[in-house]
Amino acid sequence: MRITFLKLLEKPVTIQYPDERMTIPERARNRLFENHSDCIGCGQCVTACPVDCIVIETIKSTPDVDLGTTSDGQKKRLYVPTFIIDFGKCCYCGLCTYPCPTECLKMTAVFEFSEYERYKLIYNFSTMTKPEIDEARAKLKKYDEEQAAKKAAAIAAAAAQKKAAEQAASPGIPPVTPPPVPAH
């Protein structure tokens, strides 16, 4: 009875959550945050994740587009229309944060984000809108087609020039005029 009575006088080790809150350690690993404006779409976080819960999609920018730089001065060359983290799968290991070259992926102190619906734990950090994504895709498609056409024309011109040179070296065969080489 004496021991029981003494225990009643001790300070409790539990707290009355949620009325009381524990102090979260400074380096605690809780929900991730991605500062999307600093993401260069390198995919190193995806490679590092042991449970494959990060999904990103990138679109190359064309030479006439300037996507600007990150806050630490790195040039951005890729659009990142999708940056998804499935927090239902995440094991909060923090391995994705270490290789990030721009330090835009960080673990925060936020631990209260439970949901009733599983899909609500799938976060997309991308800030691109659907029209912006469509425009970036269309621009890249057009640029790729133009580059392919220029390459094909250059190959055809080189082949014609070679043929003309061979004919010039063989008397009796009428020379072939090579097609003009497109401007780059």
Residues near ligand SF4 (CB under 6 A) are 32, 34, 39-45, 48-49, 51, 53-54, 56, 85, 90-96, 99-102, 104-105
Which CB, 47 or 147, lies closer to ligand SF4? Answer: 47
The CA distance from 125 to 56, in Å, is 10
The CA distance from 49 to 33, in Å, is 15
Residue with tokens 């923090």: 94
Q: How far is the CB of 30 from ligand SF4 (least distance, A)?
A: 10
Identity of the amino acid at 71:
S
**In the structure encoding, which two tokens stand for residue 92, read together?**
């909060």
Q: How far is the CB of 166 from ligand SF4 (least distance, A)?
A: 51
Which CB, 84 or 164, lies closer to ligand SF4? Answer: 84
The answer to whether 76 touches 68, Cβ cutoff 8 Å, is yes
3 state DSSP class of 125:
coil
Which CB, 91 or 173, lies closer to ligand SF4? Answer: 91
Residue with tokens 């949620």: 18
Q: How far is the CB of 93 from ligand SF4 (least distance, A)?
A: 4
Which CB, 123 or 143, lies closer to ligand SF4? Answer: 123
Q: How far is the CB of 132 from ligand SF4 (least distance, A)?
A: 18
**In the structure encoding, which two tokens stand for residue 73, read together?**
């001065």
Other Cβ atoms less than 10 A from the Cβ of 19: the count is 6
Q: How far is the CB of 56 from ligand SF4 (least distance, A)?
A: 6
Which CB, 108 or 147, lies closer to ligand SF4? Answer: 108
